[in-house]
Structure 1
């Protein structure tokens, strides 16, 4: 995950719908697509956490139209997704990988490329966060920080909307599980025409990706190798530190105000 959000460019349209789940090399994949297609890539994690607060709030509004219950939801969802992804040549990671069906309707010429890795290794990398993470505590820590204060609301909107719709089942834990991988692949094979669906491992480098896109293989440019998990972990640790410092400042300010008010009351 990079630290700078990409900006849309006029005249650019989506050519690649990145359908891979998080922790499948989505950052490297996005950088590679951006290079090959000469335009910005929308990487969900980077865009969400490094954009103005209005960005994540807009996505929350869009996601709340899922599951789609009628024509009004469908229209709002399509308009919202198009609004957020126009001007990019590719998209990857959440939330766009949850809207493959809608994106195919909006961008019928785009190819759907699902980044993959060993499913068990994927779950082993994600399980500690899912099973040991405490979103309630984290949301309190991040509450003083712009944009990040909306992270829990965004997460809940996905779980209650499209993510829950695709991957959660009654009687099971309402959170990601190992079964999410299989259900995701099953969903893609169901909704994406066979000729438009490609599976790609970033460890294979330029050649297979260039073959999918029909572009020349770069001769003197190494394939980007970016670590999604490490970048996110570093970002969240720094954000937690910022949150704790912000809370410390709030407590000090409240303490000073209370002390001053008490002294003022004694004088009068």
Structure 2
């Protein structure tokens, strides 16, 4: 989320799950098509010039191929802290049990669960997949297109990579754990449409 906010501050409207979910089932079907090998990337990202996090990050290679002039930022962090974070939020046990039977089940399975072999609470497996993902991105994306970035690095490396002047002020640091937990609870209690307000 910190990188999303930073990219938007630099002038790149940035797609993230918080843009995806409120668009509702018709939009989610585009991601199901990604899983079946017939993506419509332009429809998914209409109005956006950047994307971060799920659901797009598990399709980074296909996106890099489709958008050959795009640059790729690989955010890295301590795998153990990542594991704790996702277990507290998007891989929480109740949420992972809830999703398959929901209207978002097919889309989230295609874009997230399958990437982790459905083993969403297996510490060793998830940490291994995290490290494999980092290694795969480094091996797949040519060095001139790739920035390996930690949020703590601040504006300078990101702006140098993008050929932009660094803004004044600190780099955004967004801790959205409580907000994500609140959204998840509301969806489980009231359903996606009531919680997110999309048109049916």
State whether structure 2 residue 6 is matched by structure 1 residue 58.
no
Correspondence for 1:29: 3
Q: Does 1:117 align with 2:77?
A: yes
Q: Which of 133, 136, 144 is matched with 1:187 structurally? A: 136
- Residue pair 1:48, 1:56 contacting (<8 A) in 2 also: yes
Contact 2:2–2:151 (Cα < 8 Å) also in 1: yes
Per-residue CA distance 1:1-40 (angstroms, 9 max, x = gap): xxxxxxxxxxxxxxxxxxxxxxxxxx1101111221x231
Within the alignment, does 1:235 sit opposite 2:187 as a pair? Answer: no
How many pairs are equivalent? 187
Which consecutive residues of structure 1, in runs of 5 or more, have no partner in the other structure? 1-26, 66-72, 144-148, 247-268
Does structure 1 retain, via aligned residues, the 8 Å contact 2:99–2:108?
no
User: TM-score normalized by structure 1?
Assistant: 0.61
Change (3 A) 1:194 1:139: closer
Corresponding residue of 1:223? 171
Residue 128 of structure 1 deviates from its aligned partner by 5.2
Among 106, 115, 126, which residue is 1:153 paired with? Answer: 106
Q: CA deviation at 1:41?
A: 0.8
CA distance in 1, matches of 2:99, 2:87: 20
Do the aligned partners of residues 209 and 60 (structure 1) sit closer, same or farther apart at CA in structure 2, a change above 3 Å counting? same
Match of 1:133 among 88, 94, 97: 94
8 Å Cα contact 1:135-1:152 kept in structure 2: no
Which is higher, the Rg of structure 1 or of structure 2?
Answer: 1
Structure 2 gaps of 5+ residues are 195-200
CA RMSD of aligned residues (A): 2.6
Whole-angstrom distance in 2 between the partners of 1:31 and 1:51? 20
8 A contact 1:41–1:88 mirrored in 2: yes
